[in-house]
Amino acid sequence: MAKVQDEDAIYDEINVVPMLDLAYVLIVIFILMATAQVSGIELDLPQASNRKTLEASQTQAISIASSGDIYLNGAPTSVPELDAEMRRKFAEDPEVPVVIRGDTQAAYGKVVEILDVLKGVGITKIGLPAEKPAA
């Protein structure tokens, strides 16, 4: 004989079957969407040029100390030596980038003198950072 439940009786079990059905449907939809492949049109994409990479192009760092001493990539140098070295670098790579960093106490005339040297060599990619580089 079947057990008849009273309408006012308290249910002590939760029917989770509908919730599991919904979860399985969502999983199936996710799997189908994740594995579906979209067929696109055939494109003729541009090819990379033969330009030098950033690794090959070495930025030259010129520093001016508060005493007026000039450093090229951390090595002490003079204005004539700097001119000769920049001419050699320019001959290797006409687009050689140069960064001039000056101490706040450095004479402005030294910066102008170095800019004149670079202008005479023909270097046009010159950077003048305004802040200290991150250590």
The pLDDT tens digits of the residues spanning 83-92 come to 898 888 888 8
| pLDDT at 56 exceeding the cut of 60 | no
Please, is 69 exposed, middle or buried when counting C-beta atoms within 10 Å of its C-beta (0-12, 13-18, 19+)?
A: middle
Looking at CATH, the fold of the domain delimited by 60-127 is given as Nucleotidyltransferase; domain 5 (3.30.420)
Mean pLDDT of 61-69: 86
Distance, in Å, from the CA atom of 132 to the CA atom of 98, rounded to the nearest integer, reads 16
Pair 97, 84: CB distance under 8 Å: no
Residues 6 or more apart whose CB falls under 8 angstroms from that of 102 comprise 63, 64, 110, 111
Distance, in Å, from the CA atom of 3 to the CA atom of 17, rounded to the nearest integer, reads 21
Mean pLDDT of 103-111: 80
Identity at 124, one-letter amino acid code: T
Mean pLDDT of 52-77: 78
CA nearest neighbour of 118 among 60, 67, 76, 51 = 60
Look at 19-23, 101-105, 116-120 and tell me which has the smallest mean pLDDT.
Answer: 101-105
C-alpha count within 13 angstroms, C-beta hemisphere, residue 105: 5
| pLDDT at 28 exceeding the cut of 90 | yes
Q: Which has more pLDDT, 75 or 7?
A: 75
Q: Which has more pLDDT, 9 or 111?
A: 111
Going across the sheet that includes 70-72, the strands are 75-77, 70-72, 60-64, 98-102, 126-127
Q: Which has more pLDDT, 29 or 131?
A: 29
- pTM (global) more than 0.75: no
| pLDDT at 43 exceeding the cut of 80 | no
Quick one: pLDDT at residue 95? 84
